[in-house]
Amino acid sequence: MKSKRLIVRIVVVVALLALIKSYLIFLQPISTEKFSVYIKPTSTYADVKSQIDIHANFSSRIFFSAFSTFLGYENNLHVGKYEAKKGTSVWSLFTKMYRGRQTPVRLTFNNIRTKEQLAGRFGDQLMLDSMTLLNAFSNEDSCARWGFTTATIPALFIPDTYEMYWNISYEKFMTKMSQAYQDFWTNDRKVKAEEVGLTPIEISIMASIVEEESNSKAERPAIAGLYLNRYRIGMPLQADPTVKFAVNDFSLRRILFEHLKVDSPYNTYKNIGLPPGPIRVPSAEGIDAVLNYQKHDYLYMCAKYDFSGQHAFARTMEEHHRNAQKYREELNKRKIQ
């Protein structure tokens, strides 16, 4: 009789220990590193499990499989991105995936020059296909829906951090970006644009040129003032960054006469006025630099010969030639072609 009681007690203790161990496994981190599981409409359970197996420890992999089998998760996948932060347990991650509780994506983008780069950046962070996006950005009817052309569509996207789900649809994505654009262009900014004499889209185009000219935020209002001076008197903007965009070579460190001859509406040496679209996706700071431009009477500028990244401004052609000659001499001295 006593032996039977002893056996029962041992079984109970073993069962309790197994239960405690299982409970602790539920709570222990699934991995020592943060990782995410991505489930596409075409994903199978095997695809999902392979992502888990890469990151999860041995016991967590076993329990994930057990949960999946017991609760029928293999045939109940939910499309989305599911993040396991450091310290996340296997049960916590499984619960999110089983119930389809996605982890929002914090979409960020900046320093974008072309539509190809823009579509690629979105495609890298969202389930949206980059080629589908690029085709939409290159289709006049598609762009017109949002009030832009294929040339001006980059102006729609205001660089910032946006929270959305990884599997967001193209329609909802564009609606969100359009709303962010409208929110950015407050009445105050619209009034300033009218005072400048440009539309919001034209302000963005000017801002893209100003940002490409200088990395110095402090200098940008002065550069904006210079280009606005040229624009208002009908003088060609003669902005080197527009030539780089026209020849599709942003690595150029020296603009030669052969570059200035390129036949493109973006070549502001050959065409008067603004180019047809932004030569980069302008930042909010760049746009505000144009809206709050510095008022002065400079018409000319060139990079300073000390390669500080700053510019030497001039009111007359003679003064400008002296500044430019110093810069050319330094280019030759450094053998920059």
**Which conformational region is residue 197 in: left (phi greater than 0), alpha (psi within -120 to 50 degrees), or beta?**
left
Clarify whether residues 276 and 204 are in a common domain.
yes
pLDDT for res 12: 36
DSSP string, 236-294: ----HHHHHHHHT-TT-SS--HHHHT---TT-TTTSSS--SS-SS---HHHHHHHHTPP
- Where a domain ends, among 184, 203, 222? 184
Inside any domain, residue 273: yes
Count of structural domains within the chain: 3
Clarify whether residues 172 and 196 are in a common domain.
no
pLDDT for res 306: 83
Q: Could you read off the pLDDT tens digit of each residue along the chain, which spans 337 residues?
A: 545 543 444 433 333 334 334 444 446 789 889 999 999 999 999 999 999 999 999 989 999 999 999 999 999 999 999 999 988 999 999 999 999 999 999 999 999 999 999 999 999 999 999 999 999 999 999 999 999 999 999 999 999 999 999 999 999 999 999 999 999 999 999 999 999 999 999 999 999 999 999 989 999 999 999 999 999 999 999 999 999 999 998 888 878 788 888 999 999 999 999 999 999 999 999 999 999 999 999 999 988 888 877 898 999 999 998 988 988 888 888 777 6
Clarify whether residues 291 and 197 are in a common domain.
yes
- State the CATH number of the domain containing residue 91: 3.30.1490.480
- 148: domain range? 105-184
Clarify whether residues 60 and 154 are in a common domain.
no
Tens of pLDDT, residues 14-26: 333 343 344 444 4
Clarify whether residues 274 and 230 are in a common domain.
yes
Clarify whether residues 82 and 123 are in a common domain.
no
Clarify whether residues 61 and 131 are in a common domain.
no
Clarify whether residues 212 and 179 are in a common domain.
no
Tens of pLDDT, residues 279-318: 999 999 999 999 999 999 999 998 888 887 789 899 999 9
pLDDT for res 1: 56
* 70 alpha-carbon distance from chain centroid: 41
- Where a domain ends, among 99, 115, 135? 99
What pTM does this model have?
A: 0.86
pLDDT for res 8: 40
Q: Which residue has the tokens 């590193």?
A: 33
